[in-house]
């Protein structure tokens, strides 16, 4: 069986049109416009992840070989990226997709400022507590417990 060219695979993912509630459709459209979702899909494709559609207009890129931060999962736009399967991750953290969906909304609100603000808040948290999440405002907004943090 022939593997589709990465460009065709990428375009097929972008064209997806699944029934999504209006509030999540707005988030989805904004994250396409600010290019964060196409960037997340590109990371998934380059990392040879298995990309599937998930609830609320999210994509999940599972078993990604290109895991940039040291995390169980991270989100770029509407794309949740993990180095393992989402089912395994949910076995440890049942609400992980809700946590990552909150990060997706943050991408929509903050656009390209999300990443530098996340790094700043992560540094602040490291200085204050010794870990990257406890005092990270964006992680707290997404729900620390839902994301598997103390």
pLDDT tens per residue, range 62-119:
999 987 767 889 999 999 999 999 999 999 999 999 999 999 999 999 999 999 999 9
Task: Assess if residue 147 is contained within a domain.
Answer: no
Task: Assess if residue 133 is contained within a domain.
Answer: yes
Domain that holds residue 138: 6-142
Total domains, the chain? 1
How many Å apart are CA 115 and CA 130, to the nearest integer? 20
Task: Assess if residue 1 is contained within a domain.
Answer: no
32-34-36-41 Cα dihedral, nearest 10 degrees: 30
Task: Assess if residue 54 is contained within a domain.
Answer: yes
Task: Assess if residue 150 is contained within a domain.
Answer: no
Six-digit token string for 108: 């929509």
N-term to C-term CA, the chain: 46
Task: Assess if residue 97 is contained within a domain.
Answer: yes
Q: What's this model's pTM, rounded to 2 decimal places?
A: 0.85
How many Å apart are CA 32 and CA 52, to the nearest integer? 17
How many Å apart are CA 113 and CA 21, to the nearest integer? 26
Task: Assess if residue 148 is contained within a domain.
Answer: no
Task: Assess if residue 84 is contained within a domain.
Answer: yes
> How far from 39 is each of 2, 76, 124, CA to CA, in Å?
25, 7, 26
């Amino acid at each position: 069986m022939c593997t589709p060219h990465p460009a065709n695979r990428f375009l097929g993912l972008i064209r997806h049109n699944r029934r999504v509630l209006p509030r999540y459709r707005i988030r989805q459209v904004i994250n396409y416009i600010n290019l964060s979702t196409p960037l997340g899909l590109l990371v998934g494709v380059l990392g040879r992840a298995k990309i599937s559609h998930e609830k609320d207009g999210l994509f999940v890129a599972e078993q990604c070989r290109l895991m940039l931060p040291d995390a169980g999962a991270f989100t770029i736009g509407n794309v949740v990226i993990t180095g393992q399967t989402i089912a395994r991750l949910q076995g440890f953290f049942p609400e992980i997709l809700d946590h990552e969906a909150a990060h997706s909304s943050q991408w929509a609100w903050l656009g390209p400022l999300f990443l530098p603000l996340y790094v700043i808040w992560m540094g602040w948290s490291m200085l204050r507590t010794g870990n990257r999440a406890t005092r990270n405002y964006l992680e707290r907004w997404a729900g620390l417990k839902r994301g598997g943090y103390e």
